[in-house]
Chains A and B, each alone.
Chain A
Amino acid sequence: MTIADTRANTFAQSAVLVADREVRMRLRSKAFIVSSAILLLAVIASIVAGSVFGASAASSVTRVAVVGDSRSFAQIASLDVTEADSVGDAEQLVRAGDVEAAIVPGDGPTGIRILALDEAPAALVQLLSVTPEVSLLEPADQNGSLAYLVGLGFGIVFFMAATLFGTTIAQSVVEEKASRVVEILMSAISARALLAGKVIGNTILAFGQIVLIAAAAIVGLVITGQDALLGDLGPSIVWFVVFFAVGFVLLAAMFASAAALVSRQEDIGSVTTPVMMLVMIPYFLIVFAWDNDLVLTIMSYVPFSAPIGMPMRIYLGTAEWWEPLLSLLVILATTVVVVLLGSRIYSNSLLRTGARVKILDALRG
């Protein structure tokens, strides 16, 4: 075995040990377990709720009393028609609560009038209204409001995971500086191995949580019979996962390096805010500009927003096949540069305790 091999081995071993500790300590934290469980429950609850409301809206049958010729109404599937002999009888039925509304002859252009107790029955009114025919000249591939929800979903998941685990990694860096254990660590392993282990460990955790959420969402959709949605979403979810993996490494390295500049937990906010902004901007962009092609195209190539922007364009069908690959290359290249700069900042700041280290000093060493 050559010396280079031994060194690579040592580096990998050390990084794995560090990552292993990060994961184990986090899984032991009650706060982490509880917040993950709540997030998971929220996802399952929203899917179940969606299915229940969806079902009740689709299968609801309105009970109506009809005076006069009831045959034409009886053909409407969502109406449960009771024949009434007179307007007075129909009114009785409505008042008694036996039916929700009554359709009686009226003087208007429709020739009918609706009797209801205290509120206009909107569903019934809509059912009986005449809707003009609509022809779209440029029909969208996907349903607009659904597209918005998909974008929002990607945005929220990325934003939550990035802030949650970004903060976690920042805290774990500062914990080692604040408790001074970092000097012992650095006498055993290189600062790079320490940084690599932290990034890997937290990426695994973030990934694990997202896979769990995704699995819960998919199982939930299938069980509640909403699996038709899955087919449309599939490719963009796969790309989201790929982009997330690389994008998260980029952010994790930035969070870790930023946190290495300070020595106290109270100071974390001041150095991680700029990084937090980089995570927040794409989130707000997707909320406000999800239907703007130009914004989305730009987002899909900027490394910090690509994990949201590119899967969104894939879902909307506006991305060519090579675009995610190109964007992935851009983000990979950025990640390499940031990790190199970050590990330099990290190595040079770890032993400087006390006042905040200036970023230029940290780069210079």
Chain B
Amino acid sequence: MLQLDAVTKRFGDRTALDAVSFEVGDGRLTGFVGGNGAGKTTTMRIILGVLAADSGTVRLDGSVLGAADRRRFGYMPEERGLYAKMKVAEQLVYLARLHGLSRRDAEANAAELLERLGLAERADDTVESLSLGNQQRAQIAAALVHSPEVLILDEPFSGLDPMAVETVLAVLHDVAKRGAPVLFSSHQLDVVERLCDDVVVIANGQVRASGSRQKLQDDNAVRQFELLVASDAAWVREMPGITVLDFDGGYALFEADDDEAAQAVLRRALQQGPVASFAPRHRSLAEIFTEVVK
């Protein structure tokens, strides 16, 4: 388990991170969301030791991280890039060896990964000669080639073509399944919502919410329901304890004071005729996010 405890970082007068604390559980896909400049990249750089925190600690399984521990981390920075003039396989082997792997292990890992990402045929081509899509795959390979035990990805989906997105998704699931903590940041809240077990919301350098995505959604749930009936649903407005938020012919979105009031609406709808659907409305992560960071 990766734990951040009161991590603070200042750049001059500006406080980039203000006592940031959260956890990334083993085998949990954790989404890290926040606006531009909220502190995501700074946090990740501190986890990787690329930047030093002014105060606070980062621990892995209870012990404070050192350089040797961090070599087992996989990292994909937001600013992508590899050596343009180096061959793909050679470059992966080099990076794996910088992470402490023996030459033989590095070569075996690189070959296996290139095979899996469909890059085996381009192994001896220079990175600059690859298509953009293949360059992105090579970048993914660079984060994984040393079989990392913790994976930190900064905006892994930005700029990816749909095929590469699927590749990254598959890889993330695989790594998490092996029991590694996986933290990734994203602007695409729908992806985070679909994918993540846990969510950390950061704004202005402060953690606004963290924990299981389900719990976050439950905690921020409101009693809103959607009703779709065959006939006109104008009568919903007259029901006691009901506030209609949106209305269009047979469709009504309403908020109920309590569950009983909502059930009364359903009973009335069934009396009136066939009901196409009646469901509590889940608020999307995007909505919750906007509210939480306010």
Contact = CB atoms under 8 A, between A and B. Distances in A.
Label chain B's interface by main secondary structure: loop
Contacts of A186: 48, 50
A233 interface: no
- List of 9 A-B pairs having minimum Cβ-Cβ separation, nearest first: A180-B81, A183-B77, A180-B79, A179-B81, A188-B98, A187-B75, A187-B48, A181-B81, A186-B50
B68 A6 contact: yes
Given A3-B66, A25-B86, A180-B77, 11 more contacts: A7-B67, A7-B68, A13-B100, A17-B97, A179-B83, A180-B79, A181-B82, A183-B45, A184-B75, A186-B48, A188-B99
Interface string A164-197: 0000000000011001110111111110000000
Name the residue in A18, A176, A181, A187 with the highest tally of chain B Cβ atoms < 10 Å from its Cβ.
Answer: A187
18 contacts: A3-B66, A10-B68, A10-B100, A13-B100, A18-B98, A175-B84, A176-B83, A180-B79, A181-B82, A183-B79, A184-B77, A184-B82, A184-B143, A185-B98, A186-B50, A187-B50, A187-B77, A188-B98
A190 B71 CA distance: 10
A351 interface: yes
B265 to A, nearest CB: 55
B51 interface: yes
Interface in A1-26: 3, 6-7, 10, 13-14, 17-18, 21, 25
Given A21-B94, A186-B50, A187-B50, A180 B67 contact: no
Nearest to B50: A186
Interface in A317-365: 351, 353
Contacts of B94: 17, 21
B173 interface: no
Nearest to A183: B77
Contacts of A13: 100
A188 B51 contact: no
B84 A188 contact: no
A351 B45 contact: yes
Interface residues of A, number: 25
Contacts of B237: none
Given A179-B81, A180-B81, A353-B79, A17 B98 contact: yes
A190 B67 contact: yes
Label chain A's interface by main secondary structure: helix
Nearest to B143: A184
Contacts of B75: 183-184, 187
Interface string B10-21: 000000000000
Contacts of A190: 67
Interface residues of B, number: 29
A10 B142 contact: no
B283 to A, nearest CB: 36
Contacts of A176: 83
B85 interface: yes
Nearest to A29: B85
A10 B99 CA distance: 9
A10 B66 CA distance: 12
B80 interface: yes
A6 B100 CA distance: 12
Interface of B: 45, 48-51, 66-68, 70-71, 73, 75, 77, 79-86, 94-95, 97-100, 142-143
Nearest to A18: B98
A236 B158 CA distance: 60
Interface string A183-222: 1111111100000000000000000000000000000000
Contacts of B77: 180, 183-184, 187
A197 B256 CA distance: 67
A8 to B, nearest CB: 11
Nearest to A16: B97
Contacts of A7: 67-68
Nearest to A176: B83
Nearest to B128: A179
Contact of B50 (A10, A175, A181, A183): A183
Contact of B95 (A3, A25, A188, A353): A188
A176 B75 CA distance: 16
A256 to B, nearest CB: 17
A23 to B, nearest CB: 13
A188 B83 CA distance: 15
Nearest to A193: B98
B231 to A, nearest CB: 60
Contacts of B97: 17
Contact of A184 (B68, B85, B86, B142): B142
A13 B80 CA distance: 25
A180 B51 CA distance: 15
Contact of A187 (B49, B68, B82, B84): B49
Nearest to B94: A21
Contacts of B82: 179, 181, 184
A353 B81 CA distance: 13
Contacts of B99: 188
B98 A189 contact: yes
A7 B71 CA distance: 12
Contacts of B71: 10, 188
Contact of A10 (B67, B73, B86): B67
Contacts of B67: 7, 10, 190
Nearest to A175: B83
Nearest to B77: A183
Contacts of A179: 81-84
A208 B261 CA distance: 87
A187 B86 contact: no
A166 B77 CA distance: 29
Given A10-B67, A351-B50, A181 B83 contact: yes
Nearest to A177: B81
